[in-house]
Amino acid sequence: MMSRNTQLKALQEFLFETIKANYYLSFDDLNPEQVTKQIAQQLEENRFEWLDNTVYVPNLLTISVPGSTPDKIEELEVIFNSVVFMKYLYEYMTELNYKLFDFVKIEVDSIAQPHQHISLKFFWPSPEEIREDFTVLLNKQEGKILQVFAPKSEIPLLARLTALNGEPYRVDYIITKQVTYLGRLRNVTDRETSHMIRRNDFIFARHLDPLSINSSVSRLHAKIVYEDGRFAIYDTGSSNGTSIIRKGETIDLLRAEISGQYLEDNDLLILGSAHLKFNLISSEEATTLVSMPPEKLDFDDIDNNQIKLPKGADDTFSISKQEMLKHLNSLDKKT
């Protein structure tokens, strides 16, 4: 395996060649050397110990871009979510024996403050925040993780989306929000005003091939809404349409959110030529995945034999709730 310095150097070279060949970006927008230095510095500053001194780092990365255009934001999102960038980042973390609670998630934000170059920040969300990520309680002085909280759900019923083709950012996605947006790319901005229209949750990567499955998915393709105790899907103005295949029958949706269609377990969703499986999640499984409203998950009430966290991008980055329980119980005994 490459050394950590070699990995950062390879990442730097990838960024250099990518920016050099990019029509919208210049080295004034993104300095490859500064980016790799910030990655190393941010991971070092946000490393905390947990479970027998195992070192964890945040899986959330925010990239702040000063006064940028929608075209530049899109190009940066594509670069930082590319297979190559993620490969070098994960290998660098692995070489340092850093672990993660979940996949790395990257947000690219345009900011008003004047900076010469973009800035990167890895961060831990606090337990007070309602979000679909693991949160932690930190002792910053001692560099310790005191407690880990499961992702929180906004709704009392969960569902799973599974991509059957195409190249999404994540193949499996757990629906935990009132409204879940589906489309190509994470950030959807107005080209004229540069205002953010929405952020997609189930995201298909951008492809240059106009005939690819991913290219058939619109930026503003569809949304799934939890309403009246059920999930419904709406087409939000897609170019290539949205439909449901249920027990051999095809149900085509009207476009532009005119009317939705309630979903049933095991439905096949068609977005352009992309295929997704929709499945409801049982209440028993839901308690092993997220903290259900209104109470947060109580680990002592869960059967140890059925406790399991979703895997991360690699087995290196996964952790079982058995390990979590062991650590939390040891903390209780100390106190």
DSSP letters spanning 259-322: --EE--TTEEEEETTEEEEEEEE-HHHHHHHSBPSSSPP-GGGS-GGG--PPP-SSGGG---HH
Determine the pLDDT at residue 311. 35
CATH 3.30.2320 fits 4-149, yes or no: yes
Determine the pLDDT at residue 1. 47
Determine the pLDDT at residue 294. 56
Q: Is the peptide bond before 294 cis (omega within 30 degrees of 0)?
A: yes
Cβ neighbours of 256 (radius 10 Å): 12
Give the total residue count for the chain. Answer: 335
Which structure tokens are listed for 315? 């087995």
- The sign of the torsion formed by the CA atoms of 174, 179, 183, 184 equals negative
CATH of domain 158-283: 2.60.200.20
Determine the pLDDT at residue 325. 42
pLDDT at 235 over 70: yes
Determine the pLDDT at residue 168. 95
pLDDT at 5 over 60: yes
Residue 50: CA count within 13 A, CB half-sphere? 26
Determine the pLDDT at residue 313. 33
Residue at 295: amino acid letter: E
pLDDT bracket for residue 114 (50, 70, 90): low
Determine the pLDDT at residue 274. 98
Determine the pLDDT at residue 179. 97
155-174 per-position pLDDT tens digit: 999 999 999 999 999 999 99
SS3 119: strand
Residue 146: CA count within 13 A, CB half-sphere? 11
- Residue 142, class by beta-carbon neighbours within 10 Å (0-12 exposed, 13-18 middle, 19+ buried)? exposed
H-helix or E-strand spanning residue 84? helix 83-95
Which structure tokens are listed for 155? 């709704």
Least confident of 4-13, 157-166, 181-190: 4-13
Determine the pLDDT at residue 304. 36
Residue at 144: amino acid letter: K
**CA–CA distance, 39 with 27 (Å, rounded to integer):** 17
What is the mean pLDDT of the segment spanning 180-207?
Answer: 92
| Ranges 101-110, 131-140, 159-168, 302-311, most confident | 159-168
**CA–CA distance, 143 with 49 (Å, rounded to integer):** 6
pLDDT bracket for residue 191 (50, 70, 90): confident
Q: What is the DSSP letter of 121?
A: E
pLDDT bracket for residue 52 (50, 70, 90): confident
pLDDT bracket for residue 2 (50, 70, 90): low
% of the chain with per-residue pLDDT over 70: 85
Whether the CB-CB separation of 234 and 255 falls below 8 Å is answered with no
Domain boundaries, the chain: 4-149, 158-283
pLDDT at 312 over 80: no
pLDDT bracket for residue 297 (50, 70, 90): very low
Residue at 36: amino acid letter: T
Residue at 207: amino acid letter: H
Per DSSP (E only), the strands in 200-260 are 202-204, 222-227, 230-235, 242-246, 249-252
Least confident of 4-8, 84-88, 262-266: 4-8
pLDDT at 87 over 80: yes
Pairing assessment for the beta strands 158-163 and 274-281 based on DSSP bridges:
antiparallel
200-218 per-position pLDDT tens digit: 999 999 998 999 999 999 9
Strand partners, 112: none
Cβ neighbours of 243 (radius 10 Å): 17
